[in-house]
Amino acid sequence: MNDRDSMKPGDLLLPVKSFCRLSGQIIAPLSFEIHAFSVKFAYSLTRSAYMEQNINFEDIFESKLAKNDFIEPKDWMPDNYRKHLIRQISQHAHSEIVGMLPEGNWITRAPSLRSKIVLLAKVQDEGGHGLYLYTAAETLGVSRDELLDALHTGKAKYSSIFNYPTLTWADVGAIGWLVDGAAIMNQVMLQRSSYGPYSRAMVRICKEESFHQRQGYEIMTHLAFGTPEQKQMAQDALNRWWYPTMMMFGPPDKDSPNSENAIKWRIKRETNDQLRQRFVNQTVPQAEYLGLTVPDEKLTWNEAKQGYDFSEPDWVEFKNVINGNGPCNKQRLKARNDAHKNGAWVREAAAAYAKKKGESTAVAA
Amino acid sequence: MSNALFQYTLRLGDSSLILAQRLSEWTGHGPFLEEDLALTNIALDTLGTAKSFLEYAAQVEGKGRTDDDLAFFRNEREFFNPLITEQPNGDYAKTMVRQVIMDVYHLYLYKELAKSKDTTLSGIAQKAIKEVTYHVRHSASWLERFGNGTDESHQRAQDALNELWQYTQELFETPGSEKELLAQGVAVNLQDIQAKWETHVDELIRKANLKKPENVFMQRGSLDGIHTEHLGYLLAEMQHLPRMHPTAKW
């Protein structure tokens, strides 16, 4: 059992407990001290007080990583680890919220009652994922308002895939099949991420994402085995979404500035190129089953590596989309900003009402 | 009998379908994330109820049409949803006032329909009551917040009430074709629920410190398939894909 499992929220002895196991020499005096004082007092010991006793927080942190223990919100962590996580989790949260837009674009036009219900539920799930992830990011000491502000002002990034337009109903299928399929590759890995709240959010998210991928593949199946026009719609969607989906794993390992630390800290556990390869290996047979053609003339099975050789996406386009020049960047950001601005009076009314209600309750009491 | 039951069920289905279509326009654009999720949930419930009614309508009609045929292959003049359900969302106050009016209506409608001699209708209603009870709590709490929140929210809620009140009377109109169903204990007596609806809505308006609109000239027409201009656009958007590919399965 992971020693995290035996801890309750707010259990403040945790950092010290882990340290004691790590370093045999000073275990006795330290544990004596800890047990001699109340838990509250132990927590109130400042970092510098610990430092005077030769406690090396970095060693504690590293030893947890080495033991596959989770890092929890109250644990000490290097500033860069915290920054990296805030950036990654909030980007992930923003991606879920912005990701509601391209698919939401088809809710009112879904071609059957069942597909409308399923799509509504799916887009709602994405919003729910955004909510867990904002909450996970908040455990790192940043507020949702700050994160949203960064999104609305264009400072924060989100998955570049959502800057591509959903032009036909087949695009809704392609997003579920390809985009959610690629997201699952990432997210399954992130279930084992070193940061506890992120890892736990991912466990829940992954369950729903695998349902989404099946939903997408079901739409593609109906289209690919439907009328000639439907099949053409499906092929067109695959043509347009294939390379943007490949970009979702990020730049090639040799050009990925954040990957090294992410792997070292076990925030990520596989490289961009490894995940991309896995995605291609998994997706090509699915396309073949549908009778659709992956738009890559270089795609061939490589017996030696037991995987496909394939063409790289256009990394110049990738950089441009990330930097705000994709087909829908401005539109997506505007939609988020409009919703936030149009909702301002609603949030103000709720706050004003809660305040009045609180005051009247206080008076009554 | 079966034509009257078809018409009756169809109207119930249309009412939920068109309202759900409007609600679903908010998904991804709500005033904050939790509220976006809540309203989408309500849209989902309402759409589920619509699907159940339309499936039953198609079965009662017995001409081989499906729920999707009824939703996507009828024209504007063949829809019987109350006018209020097709009104554009406007701001969040307008959407919530429309919800208060419809949620309270559905609550009493389904409570009566749950006693229907038609077991399918009563089954659908029984399931819907649980959902609508939550919907009433949701929209009523927003009306109270808006009415008592800020000056702006109060004004927006009052404007929405003033605008939408003209569509409330036709909710309680009963077409001649329903008389037989009423006598058989299949249909709901709308006169009975009107009194309950009024008492409940009056109380919500009072708690929100808003004014109930008076001397309003009431609009009508949906019983005859005569709608506001908004329905045509809503249907054009909702129906275009299946109509472009009439033989396709989705």
Question: What ipTM, to 2 d.p.?
Answer: 0.97
Chain A residue numbers touching B91 (CB-CB < 8 A):
342
End-to-end alpha-carbon separation of chain B, Å? 33
CB pair distance less than 8 Å for A127 and B241:
no
Average pLDDT over chain A, rounded to whole? Answer: 85
Q: Specify if B195 maps to a domain.
A: yes
Contacts of A132 (CB under 8 A, 6+ apart): A201, A204, A205
B45 reaches A (C-beta below 8 A): no
Q: Which residues from chain B sit within 8 angstroms of residue A172, using beta carbons?
A: none
Write down the pLDDT at residue A186: 85
Supply the pLDDT for residue A54: 65
Say whether A108 and B37 touch across the interface (CB within 8 A).
Answer: no
Residue B248 contacts A where some CB pair is shorter than 8 Å = yes
> Which domain covers residue B42, as residue numbers?
2-211+220-244
- Summarised one tens digit per residue, pLDDT across range B114-159 is 999 999 999 999 999 999 999 999 999 999 999 999 999 999 999 9
Write down the pLDDT at residue A52.
55
In this structure, is residue B250 part of a structural domain?
Answer: no
> Above 90 in pLDDT, residue A297?
yes
The identity of residue B25, as a single letter, is E
Tell which of B39, B46, B99, B145 to mutate to test the A interface (max A CBs under 10 Å). B145
The amino acid occupying position A123 is V
User: What is the average pLDDT across A266-285?
Assistant: 90
Residue-wise pLDDT for A299-347, tens only, equals 999 999 999 999 999 999 999 999 999 999 999 999 999 999 999 999 9
Residue with more model confidence, A82 or A51: A82
Q: Does B43 touch chain A (CB under 8 A)?
A: yes
Summarize chain A as % helix, strand, coil (round to 5).
70, 0, 25
Are residues B248 and A230, on separate chains, in Cβ contact within 8 Å? yes
Does the beta-carbon distance from A112 to B240 stay under 8 Å?
no
pLDDT for residue A228: 98
Bridge partners, A309 (sequence order): A300
For residue B2, pLDDT beyond 80: yes
Structure token digits, residue B205: 């308006």
**Residues of chain B found within 8 Å of residue A356, distances taken between Cβ atoms:** 148
Nearest to B176 by CA among B130, B144, B223, B210: B223
Q: Is A299 exposed, middle or buried (0-12, 13-18, 19+ CB in 10 A)?
A: middle
Rounded distance, CA A184 to CA A209, Å? Answer: 7
Quick check: is B30 in a domain? yes
Cα(first)–Cα(last) distance of chain A, in Å? 48
Amino acid at A214: R
Listed range (A35-44, A273-282, B172-181) with the worst mean pLDDT? A35-44
pLDDT at residue A17 in the model: 30
Taking CB atoms and an 8 Å cut-off, how many pairs form between chains A and B?
Answer: 137
pLDDT of A363 reads 61
Cβ contact (<8 Å) for A348 and B153?
yes
B62-90 average pLDDT score: 98
| Closest residue to A343, CB basis, from B30, B43, B250 | B30
**What pLDDT is stored for residue A48 in this prediction?**
54
> How confident is the model over A164-178, as pLDDT tens digits?
999 999 999 999 999
Name the maximum alpha-carbon separation found in chain A: 78
Which tokens belong to B199?
Answer: 């008492």
The token duo for A129 is 């994922």
Is 60 exceeded by the pLDDT of residue A49? no
Strand-pairing partners, residue A195, are A71
pLDDT band at A13 (very low <50, low <70, confident <90, very high): very low
What's the 3-state SS for chain B? CHHHHHHHHHHHHHHHHHHHHHHHCCCCCCCCHHHHHHHHHHHHHHHHHHHHHHHHHHHHHCCCCCHHHHHHCCCHHHCCCCHHHHCCCCCHHHHHHHHHHHHHHHHHHHHHHCCCCCHHHHHHHHHHHHHHHHHHHHHHHHHHHHHHCCHHHHHHHHHHHHHHHHHCHHHHCCCHHHHHHHHCCCCCCHHHHHHHHHHHHHHHHHHCCCCCCCCCCCCCCHHHCCCCCHHHHHHHHHHHHHHHCCCCCC
DSSP A254: G
CA distance A189 to chain B (A): 27
Residue A189 has what pLDDT?
A: 85
Residue whose C-alpha is closest to residue B86's, from B216, B219, B234: B234
User: Does residue B92 form part of some domain?
Assistant: yes
Per-residue pLDDT for A34 more than 80?
no
B32 vs A contacts (CB less than 8 Å): 343, 346-347
CA distances from A12 to A8, A18, A41, A218, B236 (A): 9, 12, 10, 48, 60
With residue A245 as reference, give the H or E element that holds it.
Answer: helix A228-247
Give how many domains chain B has, as a whole number. Answer: 1
Residue A31 has pLDDT above 60, yes or no: no
* pLDDT average, residue stretch A63-91: 93
**What are B208-242's pLDDT values in tens digits?**
999 999 999 999 999 999 999 999 999 999 999 99
User: What is the pLDDT at residue A27?
Assistant: 32
* Sign of CA pseudo-dihedral A83, A86, A89, A94: negative
Question: CA A109 to CA B39: how far, in whole Å?
Answer: 18
Please tell me the predicted confidence (pLDDT) of residue A22.
31
pLDDT band at A24 (very low <50, low <70, confident <90, very high): very low
| Mutation target among A96, A98, A116, A166 for the B interface, most CBs of B within 10 A | A116
Which of A112, A152, A331, A336 is best to mutate for the B interface (most B CBs within 10 A)?
A: A112
Q: Does B237 touch chain A (CB under 8 A)?
A: yes
d(Cα A353, Cα B146) in Å, to the nearest integer? 8
What pLDDT, on the 0 to 100 scale, is given for residue A47? 52
CB proximity B246 to A under 8 Å = no
* CB half-sphere exposure, B126, CA atoms < 13 A: 10
Distance CA A258, CA A260 (A): 6
Is the residue at B249 inside a domain?
A: no
pLDDT tens-digit series, residues B163-213? 999 999 999 999 888 999 999 999 999 999 999 999 999 999 999 999 999
Q: Is the pLDDT of residue A138 over 60?
A: yes
B71 touches chain A (CB under 8 A): yes
Q: Indicate the Cα dihedral angle B11, B17, B19, B24, nearest 10°.
A: 180
The pLDDT of residue A114 is above 80: yes
Confidence at A263, pLDDT banded by 50, 70, 90: confident
Residue A20 has pLDDT above 70, yes or no: no
Asked if B47 and A117 count as a contact pair (C-beta separation under 8 A), the reply is yes
Please answer yes or no on whether A353 and B144 come within 8 Å at the CB atom: yes
User: Residue B168 domain-assigned?
Assistant: yes
Examine residue B35 and state whether it is found in any structural domain, yes or no.
yes
- Minimum distance, in Å, between the CA of residue B20 and any CA atom of chain A: 10
If DSSP codes are grouped into helix, strand and coil, which group holds residue A196?
Answer: helix
Q: For A180-196, what is each residue's pLDDT tens digit?
A: 999 998 888 888 889 99
Indicate the residue type of A9.
P
pLDDT in the model for residue A35:
35
- Yes or no, beta carbons of A109 and B30 under 8 Å apart: no
Q: What is the pLDDT of residues A340-355, one digit of tens each?
A: 999 999 999 999 999 9
Instruction: Report yes or no on B170 lying in a domain.
Output: yes
Task: For A97, name the nearest residue in chain B, comparing CA atoms only.
Answer: B28
CATH of the domain at B67: 1.20.1260.10
pLDDT grade for A202, boundaries at 50, 70 and 90: very high
Q: Is the pLDDT of residue A4 over 60?
A: no
Confidence label for A23 from pLDDT (cuts 50, 70 and 90): very low
Of B121, B60, B240, nearest to A168 by C-alpha is B240
